[in-house]
Amino acid sequence: MASHPMRPPLPVRFFLPGESDLERLARIDPDREPAEFRRGERAWMLQTYLRLRAAGFPCELVDRIPRDGLLFFHSKHERAVRRGFPRGGAPILIGARADNREALAAEFEVVQNGAFARAGRRFWIPNWPQPGLVARDPARATTVRRVAYKGFLSNLDPAFRSPAWESFLAQRGIEWVVDAREYEAEATDRAALDWADFAAVDLIVAVRKPERKTEFSKPATKLVNAWLAGVPALLGPEYAYRELRRSELDYLEVDSVAAAERAVDRILADPLLYRRMVEHGHERAREFDAAALVARWIALAGAELPALAAEPRRSGRRRWPLALRRAAHLVERWVDRRPPR
């Protein structure tokens, strides 16, 4: 294991309650066992712990609330944090919001989209890309023979499950692959999913049915995965994608089956566009690959948060009961006039 030159001034811990065997989880290699991370709580807490530790950054995986130090937790576990908070303890709580609402018990937050970032309180770190990703076979060149969606069925516009869309592709000699299942929490049939394998995928499609509740909350992970895999993407009009977009070489935006059909025909007619999108994606991926995100996490946990937490006004509030802290955050949100969406 490589050693990291900076030891954090405070202990850094990642909270993962409700697991039967933390010792086993701590031995996982994310890129060899990607199926272990399809739950958001593990994708954020367990994977972050594993990747930081592999980089030589001192940190721990815990299922109990410590009395001090930095404690990262997933927003879905806020109730477990409140329930297990030690009497007289003063850990610095950092919530990872993911797709969920603000963790009001948290003193700081990690958010996956820049729309929610706020200096000194909320820090934008994108979600991890697909662990164990297998890139597209470069021998496929600019041919388009397989178009795929990878994700949960509820996140795909039903129009793209219609015979008309599949027939359109078939007429052009293209196979439509839906690498998806309905989301059923722990009961989801994950063994039937192959989200990491892009070896024989030539184009990615990811378009949701328009819903206000997902307009800002979802991450840009499908775009980053496409860049890393060397696969051009047709994506819906979502904030997370647009936030990263610099030109149409990043992805082609489509809001309907008709728009997707036009985009497919355009790509088929212009092999140079396909090649340029792949090359451009490889360049953009460097900003969001695992190594880049490890550096961002280390900077946050090892320097930024300890410095902010040492401010007198923050250290004083840390002695308040959690209920009072949550109330103070609600008041701050109202005064700030920038409520989270």
Query: Tens digit of pLDDT per residue, the chain (341 long)?
Result: 344 456 899 999 999 999 999 999 999 999 999 989 988 999 999 999 999 999 999 999 999 999 999 999 999 999 999 999 988 888 999 999 998 888 888 999 999 998 889 999 999 999 999 999 999 999 999 999 999 999 999 999 999 999 999 999 999 999 999 999 876 555 445 556 899 999 999 999 999 987 756 667 789 999 999 999 999 999 999 999 999 999 999 999 999 999 999 999 999 999 999 999 999 999 999 999 999 999 999 999 999 999 999 887 676 666 666 766 766 666 666 656 554 44
Which residue carries 């001192």 as its tokens? 58
Identify the residue whose tokens are 């946990």: 301
DSSP structure class, residue 110: E
Would the CA dihedral through 107, 108, 112, 118 be positive or negative? positive
Q: 314: which 2 tokens? A: 């923050």
Q: What's this model's pTM, rounded to 2 decimal places?
A: 0.90
d(C-alpha 148, C-alpha 188), whole Å: 20
Residue 287's nearest CA partner among 252, 254, 250 is 250
- What is the C-alpha to C-alpha distance for residues 115 and 317, in angstroms, rounded to an integer? 26
Contacts 24+ apart (CB under 8 A), 157-165: 157/207, 157/208, 157/209, 157/236, 157/257, 158/209, 159/256, 159/257, 160/205, 160/207, 160/257, 160/260, 162/257, 164/257, 165/257, 165/260, 165/261
Which amino acid belongs to residue 293? L
CB 73 within 8 A of CB 12: no
CA–CA separation, 68 and 189 (whole Å): 39
Helix (H) / strand (E) containing 259: helix 257-269
Please name the amino acid found at residue 185.
A
Tell me the C-alpha distance between 314 and 108, whole Å: 11
Sequence-separated (6 or more) residues with CB below 8 Å from residue 317: 107, 325, 328
Give the three-class secondary structure for 335. Answer: helix
